[in-house]
Structures are given as structure tokens and as C-alpha cells.
């Protein structure tokens, strides 16, 4: 029997959600007398990815931002839209910087510990939980678990399920090619017309930018497919053929209406992707991780259940939007064009961040209306699982 260490709370996984939750706990004096353990199978992540999100004004991550923008462009065959990010700023940071920042804070706290171990399973016993690690067992009163269990992947497939899959390059050009004052939110002009696919550009310097080709579709592509679209895009819109690729990133993010919150139990709260913290219709999760972490703290203080459930109205709207993208995948460009063209950027961003007033939600719904939405909506009335 391996030795066991006791904690009030254990956070399994020091990825985006685990780090956000840890950061919220260690910043709140209320929890100074509670003990915490964060366990991750990796000591430090090798990959350095870019995490982007939008928020109003100054925020708690401003110290470690790579860049922020207050203007963006949306391009489609139907036209160009200038997006005003002056209220909700678009911000990007490096995942490595974020991890280092939170782990530095963890090191300074006496009641917080980080251990590098692989969690094999979590056993619920009377009034305690045993987290079974590869090296050791750990005991807690409550566990926050960001592992995606293999059984869940099977279940997800019964629901509407798309993947946001993408490949991006950070490139350095010889000449000044980019305007670092604005970024490209979505560009649908060069893509496979059978799918929802677009290019995303974050200029960091006049000669340095992240260019990503992204799909919202059912299956990933070979690397060469994304790379070819990036090359074409750079050549056509930046007249750039001479550049150095200084970094590349690749990702697959699940976009699904699967009700992840049901995986949580009284003593184990699923967090992150495994807890449904990824916005199903956009694949963004950074802001949700921050928001839901704070919600968990609030619930603990109020003595309430920790389960985090999406607001019904947003869950329903995500389901419909995802249903349209899934059934009519080539129509994604039109859906996003209508939403962005017919609404002020602030209303769209509030909606995607789930911070809208009902009246604004109705305006968004009216703006994207089409026969496809009506068909999916009708289907949702009689189909239990969409
Ligand atoms: C290249 C890339 C770019 C992205 N860009 C953005 C973006 O701009 N904005 C945005 O909002 N989202 C972005 N995402 C998505 C975002 O990274 C994920 O949604 C987010 O990481 C999910 O958080 P998580 O905590 O659930 O999972 P993760 O961040 O993957 O963390 C899970 C952690 O659990 C650990 N772990 C797993 N199994 C075990 C085990 N058995 N024992 C111990 N530890 C374990 C893993 O090592 C990992 O550290 C991007 C993703 C990628 C790949």
C-alpha cells in the first residue's frame, strides 16, 4: 500500500482549468486555512500555445499578456466587417507564461502543493476520496478533476459533435508585412467551401504574426492541408513568400452539446473540457475557466453544491448553433457573417461570453435567422439528443 497524503482539495490536472482554479483559490484569503494539492502527469508542458480571450478593460492577466488589440477584421465572400474591440479587448498570452505565473504563486503559498504524478483513478470511500497516483495515493475531501475519461468520448458521439481543429505558424518575414494594431478574427475567403473553415491572424510585430487555418468540422485533416491554406493566404493577402516559421501549434478542441456537468458527483467536480467549460459553439474556454472557477469558490462559501451547469438559455442556443454547423457545415461562413455584420461587436462578444441581456440575445437570434435554424430548431423539439 502506497503512503497517502491528506488535503482538503485536490485538483487533478494543471492545465488551463486546473491553473485557473488554483489561481482563484490561492488569491482568496477565505481559503488560507485549507490545504490544496494540484497533480499533473507533466512537470511542465513542452508545448507553448497561444491562449486568446476577450474581456472588458483591464484584467488580472494583463501583466503576462503577449499582446492585445482593439480592432479586428472579419472577411467573407459576402464582404468585410470592421470589428470594434475597444470595449471588449482581444488579448493573447502564452500558455507557458501562464503556467509559470500560476506555479510561481503556488510555490509561495504554504497551503498549496504541486506534485508531478499520473492519476490512475479516484476512489470514493466513506467521507473521503482516494486519488490513486502512479507514485503515491492522495486523500481529499473534494476533488476537482480535469481528466477526460475514455468512456466520455464514446458518449459524446451520441450528441452533436464537431471538432475545432487547426494548425498555426508563427512566422517572421524579411519585410514589414503586418499591422499590429488589428487582427483577423475570421477570414473565410480561402478555404474548402464544403466546410466551416477560416484563417485567423494575430500580428505581434510588423514582421511577425501567428497565422492559423481552422476548421469547425467532424474530422481533422492531414497537416499538409492546413499548411497549404496558410501558404496560399500569406501569398495572396500579404504578398509573403519569404518567411521563417519560428513556431507552430496544432489543436483539436471538442465542440459538443454533451452535458458534461452530469459527470460530476457530490465529491468530484469535473472541470475544464471534462466539465463542459469549453464553449460548444466557439471552442473558446479561457474566460469560462476563469468565470467557472470563481463560481466554484462562491458556491463553497455559500455551502452549496459545486456542480457547474451552463445557463439553460445558452446551452439551448449553443445546441441549435452547433446543430446548424453540424448539419449544414458549409453554411458556417454565412451564419457568422450575419451575426457579425448585423450586430455591434460588443453585442456579439457579450453573447459569445454568455453575458448578454435577454433583449440582446433576441437581437442576435433574429440577425442569424434562416431556414437552417428553423429546421434544426424543429428537430430539437422532438429529438431528445441533438
Ligand atoms: C494550440 C492550442 C491553442 C488554443 N488556443 C486557445 C485560445 O486561444 N483560447 C481558448 O480559450 N482556448 C484555446 N485552446 C483550448 C484550450 O487549450 C483548452 O480548451 C483547455 O486547455 C482545456 O483545459 P483543460 O484544463 O480541460 O485541459 P488541459 O489544459 O489539457 O489540462 C489537462 C491537464 O491534465 C493533465 N492530465 C491529464 N491526465 C492526467 C492524469 N491521469 N494524471 C495527472 N494529470 C493528468 C494534463 O497533463 C494537462 O496538464 C487552445 C488549445 C490548443 C491545443
DSSP letter string, 86-142 = SSEEEEEEEHHHHHHHHHHHHHH-TTEEEEE--EEEEEEETTEEEEEESS-EEEEEE
Does the interface predicted TM-score (ipTM) exceed 0.90?
yes
Q: Which helix (H) or strand (E) holds 307?
A: none
Residue nearest to atom 35 of ligand 1 (CA): 13
Reading the block at residue 319, the C-alpha cell is: 445546441
pLDDT digits (tens, 9 = 90+) for 48-90: 999 999 999 999 999 999 999 999 999 999 999 999 999 999 9
Which residues on adjacent β-strands are paired with residue 164? 216, 253
Q: Cα(270) to centroid of ligand 1, in Å?
A: 14
Whether residue 131 is predicted with pLDDT greater than 90 in this model: the reply is yes
Atom of ligand 1 nearest to the CA of 18: 25
Average pLDDT, the chain: 93
Ligand 1 centroid vs 82 CA: distance in angstroms?
Answer: 31
CA 319 to each of CA 229, 258, 284, 357, 378: distance values in angstroms, whole numbers, following the listed order: 29, 9, 15, 19, 12
What confidence tens digit (pLDDT) does each residue in 300-351 have?
Answer: 999 987 778 888 888 888 889 999 999 999 999 999 999 999 999 999 999 9
pLDDT at 381: 74
What pLDDT score was predicted for residue 337? 96
User: Which residues lie closer than 8 Å to 211 by C-beta, 6 or more apart?
Assistant: 168, 169, 171, 199, 200, 201, 230, 233, 234
Given this model, what pLDDT does residue 236 score?
97
Q: Which three cell numbers stand for residue 264?
A: 460530476
Lowest average pLDDT, out of 17-21, 61-65, 67-71, 123-127, goes to 123-127
User: What pLDDT shows up at residue 1?
Assistant: 43
pLDDT for 45: 80
Strand order in 50-56's β-sheet?
50-56, 88-94, 65-69
The pLDDT, as a whole number, for residue 385 is: 55
Q: Which residues, 6 or more positions from 48, have their beta carbon under 8 angstroms from its beta carbon? A: 94, 95, 96, 247
Please tell me the distance between residue 210's alpha carbon and the centre of ligand 1 in angstroms. 19
Q: Fill in the DSSP letter of residue 193.
A: T
Selected from 1.10.1060, 3.30.460, 3.40.1350, 3.30.70, the CATH number assigned to the domain covering 161-255 reads 3.30.70
Percentage of the chain modeled with pLDDT above 90 = 82
Cα 237 to ligand 1 centre (Å)? 32
CB 15 within 8 A of CB 98: no
Query: Closest ligand 1 atom to the C-alpha of 47?
Result: 1
pLDDT score recorded for residue 386: 57
Task: Tell me which of 116, 146, 165, 352 to substitute to probe ligand 1's pocket, judged by most ligand atoms within 8 Å of the beta carbon.
Answer: 146
| 116-127: average pLDDT | 94
CA 52 to ligand 1: nearest atom:
8
Q: Which atom of ligand 1 is nearest to the CA of 274?
A: 26
Helix crossing, 371-382 with 312-327: angle to 10°? 120
Q: Match domain 4-52+95-147+258-302 to its CATH number in 3.40.50.150, 3.40.462.20, 3.50.50.60, 1.10.10.10.
A: 3.50.50.60
pLDDT at 384: 56
pLDDT for 346-385, tens place per residue? 999 999 998 898 899 999 999 988 888 888 878 777 765 5
Torsion angle of C-alpha atoms 40, 292, 356, 70, degrees rounded to 10: -40
Within 6 A (CB) of ligand 1 lie 12-18, 39-42, 49-53, 118-119, 146-147, 249, 251, 253, 272-274, 278, 284-286
Give the model's pLDDT for residue 50: 97
> pLDDT digit string (tens) for 154-197?
899 889 899 999 999 999 999 999 999 999 999 999 999 999 99
Ligand 1, residue 92: give the atom nearest the CA. 8
Burial grade of 270 (CB within 10 A; 0-12, 13-18, 19 or more): buried
Confidence class for position 44, pLDDT limits 50, 70, 90: confident
What pLDDT does residue 40 have? Answer: 97
Contact yes or no for 229/168 (Cβ under 8 A): no
Q: What integer pLDDT is reported at residue 180 of this predicted model?
A: 94
Q: What share of the chain is helix, strand, coil (3-state, %, to 5)?
A: 35, 35, 30
Amino acid at each position: 500500500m502506497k503512503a497517502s497524503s491528506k488535503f482538503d482539495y485536490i485538483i487533478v490536472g494543471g492545465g488551463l482549468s486546473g491553473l485557473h482554479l488554483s489561481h482563484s483559490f490561492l488569491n482568496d484569503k477565505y481559503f488560507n486555512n485549507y490545504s490544496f494539492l494540484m497533480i499533473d502527469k507533466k512537470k511542465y508542458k513542452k508545448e507553448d500555445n497561444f491562449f486568446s480571450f476577450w474581456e472588458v478593460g483591464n484584467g488580472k492577466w494583463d501583466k503576462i499578456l503577449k499582446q492585445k488589440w482593439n480592432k479586428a477584421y472579419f472577411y467573407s465572400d459576402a464582404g468585410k466587417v470592421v470589428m470594434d474591440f475597444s470595449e471588449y479587448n482581444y488579448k493573447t498570452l502564452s500558455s507557458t507564461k501562464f503556467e509559470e505565473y500560476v506555479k510561481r504563486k503556488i510555490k509561495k503559498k504554504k497551503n498549496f502543493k504541486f506534485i508531478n504524478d499520473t492519476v490512475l483513478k479516484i476512489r470514493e470511500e466513506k467521507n473521503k476520496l482516494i486519488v490513486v497516483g502512479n507514485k503515491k495515493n492522495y486523500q481529499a475531501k473534494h476533488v476537482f478533476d480535469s481528466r477526460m475519461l475514455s468512456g466520455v468520448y464514446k458518449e459524446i458521439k451520441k450528441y452533436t459533435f464537431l471538432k475545432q481543429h487547426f494548425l498555426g505558424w508563427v512566422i517572421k518575414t524579411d519585410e514589414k508585412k503586418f499591422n499590429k494594431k488589428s487582427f483577423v478574427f475570421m477570414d473565410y475567403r480561402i478555404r474548402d467551401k464544403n466546410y466551416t473553415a477560416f484563417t485567423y491572424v494575430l500580428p505581434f510585430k510588423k514582421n511577425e504574426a501567428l497565422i492559423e487555418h481552422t476548421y469547425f468540422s467532424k474530422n481533422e485533416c492531414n497537416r499538409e492541408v492546413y499548411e497549404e491554406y496558410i501558404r496560399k493566404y500569406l501569398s495572396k493577402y500579404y504578398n509573403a513568400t519569404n518567411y521563417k516559421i519560428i513556431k507552430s501549434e496544432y489543436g483539436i478542441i471538442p465542440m459538443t452539446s454533451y452535458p458534461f456537468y452530469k459527470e460530476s458527483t457530490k465529491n468530484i467536480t469535473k472541470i475544464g473540457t471534462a466539465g463542459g467549460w469549453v464553449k460548444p459553439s466557439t471552442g473558446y474556454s479561457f474566460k469560462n475557466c476563469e468565470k467557472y472557477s470563481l463560481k466554484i469558490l462562491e458556491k463553497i462559501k455559500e455551502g452549496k453544491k459545486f456542480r457547474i451547469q451552463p445557463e439553460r438559455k445558452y446551452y439551448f442556443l449553443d445546441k441549435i448553433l452547433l446543430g446548424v454547423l453540424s448539419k449544414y457545415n458549409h453554411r458556417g461562413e454565412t451564419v457568422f457573417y450575419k451575426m457579425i455584420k448585423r450586430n455591434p461587436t460588443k453585442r456579439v462578444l457579450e453573447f459569445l461570453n454568455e453575458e448578454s441581456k435577454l433583449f440582446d440575445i433576441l437581437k442576435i437570434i433574429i440577425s442569424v435567422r434562416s431556414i437552417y435554424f428553423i429546421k434544426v430548431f424543429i428537430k430539437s423539439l422532438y429529438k431528445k439528443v441533438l
